[in-house]
Structure 1
Amino acid sequence: MYFPRKVKWTFFVVTTLFSLVQPLSANHTSINDTAIEMIHVGLILDAQSWVGKIVDSCISMAISDFYSRNHHYQTKLVVHTRDSGGDPLLLLSQALVFLENFKSDAIIVAENSAGVKILVELGSRVKIPIISLFATGQSLSSFEYPHLIQIGEDESSRAKAIAAIVEAFSWRSAILIYEDNDSARPILSNVTGFHLDQHVALLTSSTDEEIVQQLVKLMSLQMTVYVVHMSPILASRLFLNAKQLGMMTQGYAWITTDMITNFMNSMDPSVFESMQGVVGFKPHIPASKELHKFAIRWRSKNLNENKNLEEMEMNVYGIWGYDMVWAVATAAERVMTRHPHILHQETRLSMNFTTIRSSESGLVFMDELLQSRFEGISGGFQLTNGRLIPKEIEIVNVFKGERIIGVIWPGGTMNIPKGWSLRGKRLRIGVPVTNQFRELISVVHDLQTNDINVTGFCVDVFKEAVQRLDYENYDAVVGDITIISRRFAYVDFTQPFTDLGIGVVVPKINNDIWIFLKHLCGDLWITAAAVFIFTGVVIWFIERPINEEFQGSPSKQIGMIFWYSFSTLEKLLSNLSKFVVIIWVFVVLIITSSYTATLASMLTVKQIQLSSRDNDVWVPSDISNFTFETRRRRANHSPEEYADALKRGSKNGGVSAIINEIPYLKVFLAKYLLITP
């Protein structure tokens, strides 16, 4: 058969290329098969729980999605899934299987149980990363456990979120209801930003009777703001019993942490119905196209496998598990690229762990994990101190599954609960009916309408406080109520808003031109005159024999005696008389200084003193411990009678002073300007 030259040449080229491509293709396949390094990762979860099923399916999809995009990688994760059934002992048993049989390079735990803490201790011994998709709630620092990675809110972040909600609604305090285990208990030491009025611990094994007993105790308290921090199983029973007791009605406020809010979609419809009006917070997962597409693929893929997923939504733990697998797979590839010699190096542990190896690559693997930074379906993925903490939280309001503007509280109301309640009791306000100082408290009884009208400064202050605090009901006493120790056993007192103390009011002393003589009594005048005369006589007696000025007629000598006491200008000859004059000058100086000081005090300082112990005083009947005689005391009366009694004085049937509390004295002085303190 004859073939043209062109056809022969074409056949030759095709045959040659085919012979070259076939060995190259076979060689490429052989290289890929031999170069792929299997990285074994253990996954422990509760396969019967809704969260466990979602995490398992999300991690499976993460493996498929990652290597479909990175088919050229030299490493590949092999995830071995084991069911713990929620049993801490079985969790540890499955972890030992991973370490002994599969030589796992990392373990992912998708449950929150007491066994996680022991598993973390085990991970620090074998030096492999332990990744917990649940925040353990325990104080596990990255310095003490460098191989631990935690995802989710820590207790400090939870406490800040609770404080932010309490502050946003202007509540003064709250009551914490928590589960008494290692996961929930640590929140007690992290509560900041608000006053924790009381905390109630419930055991995981608490019966409904025990839960009801604790709720009844809480109902007897005035505080109606509750923060619930416990597992979803215990929380379901708590809210069912709370609804039966009427604690999910108007006036109550319930706040749930992410331990409960993250699982709301998986709760029984009856439980969800009992939680209407609950406000909770959970980590915020920003919406994105990637997340939306993943959720659609996840639902379509798993509906055939699990019909129950039709009524369930994607959970945050499944999203975190998806991103965490990408981080582990990326870190494994970096370890292979940068440290190919260190993978699967191992040594034997001593003591009881003779069959379990200690990974030499654990620290390197952990370092690469901590450097993971990428944009996942959960948003920005970055580990800080061995923990992935959401940057934002979102507030969830449970109300028939609908999105509504504002917050719907228990009872279907949008009115913010005030935070305390007196259980609907009709309240009474007591005021002292004295009518002595109407400016402070005045009670007027209208006999025709039988209405009581209470006015005055104290009432105005109370009403203003009520308006500012936005409290509509109150149970209090307004007025002049003395704070004494025995009354604290029955009531609480507000801080006094008036001046404290007791004062004295006396009639004002009128000033006149003879005020400089008022402090010079008759005895003082006689004493001063006697000293003057005595000094003149002594000088005259000494100087008369030798001084002509002191000689002469008797009248002249008598005049010199009186004159010299007021003037020392005469010349003295005797040294003895000069000595007497020196003493006399000092006496005059002392008298002058004392008089000047007394006169200055009288002119510049208003003396408030009783003129005599024999004067009458008005003292209120509830003020005691005075030294006045009982017969000198008068009963407390109105300001008008105060003024009249002070004008008349004690000698005319009145009083010389009034002793009373400062607020009453201020009211009295404001009306009668002639009477000052």
Structure 2
Amino acid sequence: MEKIIPCTVLVLLLVFAFGAAQNITARRAEEFHVGVILDLGSLVGKVSRTSISLAVKDFYSVHQNYSTKLTIHIRDSMGNDVKAASAAIELLENYKVQAILGPQKSSEAAFISKLGSIKQVPIVSFTATSPALTYDSMPYFVRATLSDSVQVNSIASLIKFYGWREVVMIYDGTDYGRGILPHLVDALQQIDAHVPYRSVIPLSATRENIKQELYKLMAMQTRVFIVHMSSSRASLLFIKAKEAGMMNKGFVWIITNGIANIIDSLNQSVIEAMNGVIGIRSHVPKSQELDTSFLVRWNRMYRQFNPNELPHNKPSIFGLWAYDTVWALAQAAEKVRVSGNSNRLQSCKNCTSLDSLAIYSNGPELLKEIVQNKFRGLSGNFDLTDRQLPVSALQIINLVGGSCRHIGFWTSENGLSRQLNQNGLKITGSDSILGLNPVIWPGESTEIPRGWEIPASGNKLRVGVPSSAYPQFAKTSKDPVTNTTRASGLSVDIFEEVVKRLPFSLNYEYQAFDTNDATSSRSYTDFVRQVYLQRYDIAIGDITIIYNRSLYVDFTIPYTESGVGMIVPVKEKVNNNMWTFLKPLSKGMLFVSIIIIIYTAVVIWLLEHLNGNGHLSGPFSPKQLGIPMLFSIFEDKDKLECFLSRAVLLVWKFVLLVLASSYTASFASMLTVQQLSPTLTDIKELQKQGGYVGFHRGSYMEGLLVDIGFDRSKMRPYDTPDEFHIALSNGEKNGGVAALVLDVPYIKLFLAKHCKGYTMVGPIYKSAGFAFALPKRSPLLADISRAIINITGGDTIIQIEKKWIDKHSCQNEQKVDGSALLMNRYKRDHQNAASKLDDPNTQRYVQQGENEHIQDADQGNEVNGGCNDVDNGTATAKSMSHSPNTNGDLPGDCTQNNRVTDKTHFSLQVSVQGGRGGGGLICHNVAQV
């Protein structure tokens, strides 16, 4: 018993000695003074204070042998820049702090970082995210967080992924709110998205001011909003937005990481008001360090500092960055091993309070150690080599039912993806087909919002309509009762059909563009410019898509055919040469025909002579050779006695039949082409001749002709189709023009009305056709273009063209008499061929410049040019009615006055082929029993 007591005393003495030694070592640890400036009244400030205090405690419990120890001096800025600056000066003057953590706000960090650069004191902020804080202007500033500029590409990727074209920015009127704007606008421009409005919420804005601003946003078309605000003001914004009905179906709300990073710490009522919001926040990878024990210790310390508040489940990413920042600073301080008494400046006379502050001589070395320190922290890889944390991955979340749903990730290398693999690379395969998980949008809708709406309480869509020179395309008038503008025409009908096919209702009104106004210069370019000047929301009519107009408006896809052509008169060319009938026969063909006739005659004479034919008896003479030649030409088989001679004659008759048919067709085609031909075939030819050319006044044709090389003195403008007709009829010698240059749709309409004496040459120039003009990046553009495709791809466009163009065609009224090929009725046939030039099929061939061929379908190869009476075998061409071929029917019919037997039925066949000079029309009756 006596031996045991001394042993116990010895053990106690050893334990006491060991504890005393530890206390002596702890007392010998040099104090490293660190200032902390936070807004302790804000949620981020409270979270950061807790994390900093817990980090100091945890670090030195692990590193008990360190010769330095951080001594934290916390100051409350109360969210005021002046108080933050005053606190920094006080910390530098009274505590000789060698580093400052915070400041919390970007505006506070701007001044304090400049002060730290002068005194060589590193300023490390884990909350100041403004891109305006750069190392170039503040070399001692270190951002232990992400810059707001790193998230703009992820936001732009979301906008592009869902196909939105316009967004509205809502931000604080502070350095923090404004700092992201240039970067975000640039990122949106890269994907061709537009920011039509920026909503700035000043710090002095009241609840009523915010409510009024939200009502203003509701009156706009854009329904995609990007919110970049502080958490307190964003909370108020979303509560008011819910009250205003802006958290319903059709709206899109995107929050930046400043709000999304602390979403778990917001009041539950605020989270419920944000139902359907999507956000971008920093991704925190799972780690063993961030376990349950840490969260328990963190919550216990949070309650110590904030006993009157409910405990939080976990710290936000800002709290994790604050925790890791303390560890990085503590490790850097140990490496520097500074003495706290070597930083005083010698006192000076007449010095200001700032000048009297000590310069930290070891500041450059401490800064170097901070930025070179790399480790795996609670927030992930903590690396300040670039004076700010690197971008690893951003998480996309969706607030639904008071909690966050994972939507996907964004990385700079791979863009959007559903999940990340262990290496942080984009997952490929079936899991990444759609790019992101489905989103529950505001109003609990699963349908992706269109991104814009026509406000029900907003003004009607202003639709500008010109009074076209061709009223068939667009025409306006005033309703005498309501005094509203009425519009009609092909373009108007197409627009109204488009509205019917839109997936939403469109409230609009017509507004007339007064082309008689002197300020408009009767120019369609001026009309289109009214859309750019926001006088009209959309311009419809016969508007041609051209380059210079597309610089300030967007066009829909065209709804008419494209191209520019010439209208030229058709000249009459009569050939009085008596040897015209020989022109279809080439020299080679004529020579071969003569040789074959002689050869056939010799063979027949030889066979008959050897057979003892009495007609060819006696000695050989030219007369005997002439008789077989007549046999070879005329059918006189009774005088042939030899079977072989008759066989030779049969073969020759077949060859003669082919030659006769070819000659007949070529001769008929030659006569028709010679009768009708355009006066001009090329615009360059007209330019070389110095001829006059006409165009539609106020159209882009004037500039086009100048670009081609025409002298303005040779160009004459006209207003109406009647003036075009008069100018062409008069000709150049009588003050008219040699040709008109117009868009193909105008030419089609002109030729439908003036069938005789004109034809189209070309197209001579490519154009995109007629379309509707909308403001740049209009959200209506895609839907209207899609509806136009629906219309032009079906029967609707055909019916509209029949209504406005075909009903004005003179083809429905013309009566063409007689045959188109009989020479003794040449004059009448010329008129028939001229009228046929207006047929769409003929026009097509004229444009291509193909040669004309007329083929006879009659079984007997006889060119009658009229309707054949089968019973009598005589040609009784009486009349032929020419009608447009719109439904696959015959373009003409033949009538005859002769009686037809009951057993005979007549089938009308028409062969129409156009050429550069004109066309022919043949009607044949084929008897069928």
TM-score, normalisation: structure 2: 0.51
| AA aligned opposite 2:187 | G
Distance in 2, Cα, partners of 1:668 & 1:216:
61
**1:302–1:309 contact (8 Å) kept in structure 2:** no
Deviation, 1:472, is 5.2
Give CA deviations for 1:450-485 in whole Å, capped at 9, x if unaligned: xxxx999x979x98x999xx96556799xxx99653
Q: What's the CA shift for 1:63?
A: 0.8
Report the CA distance between 1:205 and its aligned residue: 0.8
Aligned to 1:323: 324
**Equivalence for 1:420:** 452
Does 2:187 match 1:193?
yes
Hey, what's the Cα distance between the residues in 2 that align with 1:52 and 1:664?
83
Look up the match of 1:552: none
Correspondences of 1:227-626 after superposition (within 5 Å): 227-293=226-292, 294-303=294-303, 306=307, 308-310=309-311, 313-336=314-337, 344-347=342-345, 350-402=351-403, 404=405, 406-423=438-455, 485-486=526-527, 488=530, 489-493=535-539, 494-495=555-556, 497=558, 498-504=561-567, 606=681, 626=724
Cα 1:193–1:109 shift into 2, 3 Å: closer
Q: Measure how far apart 1:646 and its partner are.
A: 12
- In structure 1, C-alpha distance between the alignment counterparts of 2:916 and 2:503, rounded to whole Å: 41
Aligned mates of 1:663, 1:108 — CA distance in 2: 84
Residues 378 and 654 of structure 1: is their aligned pair in 2 closer, same or farther, counting only changes over 3 Å?
same
- Residue 308 of structure 1: how far off its partner (Å): 2.3
Distance in 2, matches of 1:476 and 1:262, equals 44
- Gap change, CA 1:323 and 1:23, over 3 Å in 2: closer
Q: In 1, distance between residues paired with 2:262 and 2:359?
A: 36
Which residue in 2 is equivalent to 1:589?
Answer: none
Is 1:250–1:412's contact at 8 Å kept on the other side of the alignment? yes
Residues 498-507 or 122-131, more deviating? 498-507
Q: Any idea what SS the aligned residue of 1:149 has?
A: strand
Cα distance, 1:299–1:650 mapped onto 2, change above 3 Å = farther
For the residues of structure 1 that align with 2:315 and 2:574, how far apart are their CA atoms? Answer: 92
Change (3 A) 1:342 1:94: closer
Kindly indicate whether the alpha-carbon contact (under 8 Å) linking 1:106 and 1:129 is maintained by their aligned counterparts in 2.
yes
Provide the rounded CA distance (Å) in 1 between the counterparts of 2:152 and 2:42.
28
Is the contact made by 1:507 and 1:676 (CA closer than 8 Å) also made in structure 2?
no
Moved more, 291-300 or 379-388: 291-300
Judge conservation of contact 1:505–1:657 (CA < 8 Å) in 2: no
| 1:674 counterpart letter in structure 2 | G
Tell me how far 1:295 sits from its aligned partner. Answer: 1.9
SS of residue in 1 equivalent to 2:196: strand
AA in 2 matched with 1:44: I
CA distance in 1, matches of 2:727, 2:557: 31
Retained in 2: the 8 A contact 1:374–1:382?
yes
Q: Which moved more, 1:125-134 or 1:268-277?
A: 268-277
- SS at 1:153 equivalent: coil
Q: Deviations over 1:560-600 (max 9, x none)?
A: xxxxxxxxxxxxxxxxxxxxxxxxxxxxxxxxxxxxxxx9x
1:383-435, CA deviations, whole angstroms, 9 ceiling, x for partnerless residues? 14311244211112121224556211111101111111013599999999x9x
Q: How well do the aligned residues superpose, as a CA RMSD in angstroms?
A: 5.4
Equivalent position SS for 1:396: strand
Distance 1:65 1:137 in 2: 30
Aligned equivalent of 1:119, options 112, 133, 142? 112
Question: CA separation in 2, counterparts of 1:231 and 1:321?
Answer: 18
Q: Is the 8 A contact 1:154 1:389 kept in 2?
A: no
Q: In structure 2, do the counterparts of structure 1 residues 491 and 203 end up closer, same or farther at CA, with 3 Å as the change threshold?
A: closer
Question: Which has a greater percent of strand?
Answer: 2
Give 2:564's aligned amino acid: G
Determine helix, strand or coil for the equivalent of 1:499. Answer: coil
Three-state SS of the structure 1 residue aligned to 2:114 is: helix
The Cα shift of 1:173 comes to 2.0
After superposition, what is the alpha-carbon deviation per residue over 1:484-529, rounded to whole angstroms, capped at 9, x for unaligned? 5336432435245341435427669999997999xxxxxxxxxxxx
- The percent of aligned pairs where both chains have the same amino acid is 28
Matched residues, number: 558
CA deviations on 1:85-137 (whole Å, 9 max, x unpaired) are 22222212221221111111111115216332211121112111111121241
Task: Give the aligned partner of residue 59 of structure 2.
Answer: 66
Over 3 Å counting, the alpha-carbon distance change for 1:459 and 1:299 in structure 2 is same
Higher relative CO (Cα under 8 Å, sequence separation at least 6) belongs to: 1
Amino acid of the structure 1 residue aligned with 2:186 = T
Counterpart in 1 of 2:726? 628
Partner residue in 1 for 2:785: none
Matched-pair contact (CA < 8 Å) for 1:506–1:646:
no
How many angstroms does 1:200 deviate by? 1.9
Q: Match for residue 523 of structure 1?
A: none
Structure 2 residue 246 is the aligned partner of structure 1 residue 183: no
SS in 2 for 1:193: helix
Indicate how the Cα distance of structure 1 residues 626 and 104 shifts in structure 2: closer, same or farther if over 3 A, else same: same
Structure 1 residues 142, 304: CA separation in 2 closer, same or farther (over 3 Å shift)? Answer: closer
Distance 1:20 1:516, change over 3 A: farther
- 1:157 lines up with 2:150 in the alignment: yes
Question: Which stretch of the first structure deviates more once superposed, 360-369 or 348-357?
Answer: 348-357
Check the 8 A contact 2:102/2:126 in 1, yes or no. yes
Q: 3-state DSSP class of the match of 1:239?
A: helix
**Is the Cα–Cα contact under 8 Å of residues 261 and 281 in structure 1 kept in the other structure?**
yes
- Helix, strand or coil: the match of 1:185? helix
The answer on whether the counterparts of 1:283 and 1:393 sit within 8 Å (CA) in structure 2 is: yes
Matches of 1:416 and 1:164 in 2, distance apart?
Answer: 15
SS of equivalent residue, structure 1 residue 114: helix
Instruction: Give the direction of change, closer, same or farther, for the CA distance of 1:113–1:646 in structure 2 (3 Å limit).
Output: farther
Cα distance change on mapping 1:654 and 1:127 into 2, 3 Å: farther
Contact 1:505 1:659 in 2 (8 A): no
Indicate conservation of the 8 Å contact 2:30/2:339, yes or no: no
Query: Where in structure 2 are there 5+ consecutive unaligned residues?
Result: 189-193, 406-436, 473-488, 514-522, 540-554, 581-673, 697-716, 731-749, 755-804, 818-826, 849-884, 886-911, 918-929
Distance 1:509 1:20 in 2: 135
On the 8 A contact 2:106/2:130 being kept in 1, the answer is no
Asked if the contact 2:122/2:142 (under 8 Å) is kept, the reply is yes
Q: Any idea what SS the aligned residue of 2:311 has?
A: helix
Distance across 1 between alignment mates of 2:122 and 2:156:
33
Q: Is the 8 A contact 2:718 2:724 kept in 1?
A: no
Distance 1:400 1:379 in 2: 29
CA contact (8 A) 2:345 2:356 kept: no
Q: 1:240 to 1:367 in 2, by over 3 A?
A: same
In 2, distance between residues paired with 1:361 and 1:300? 37
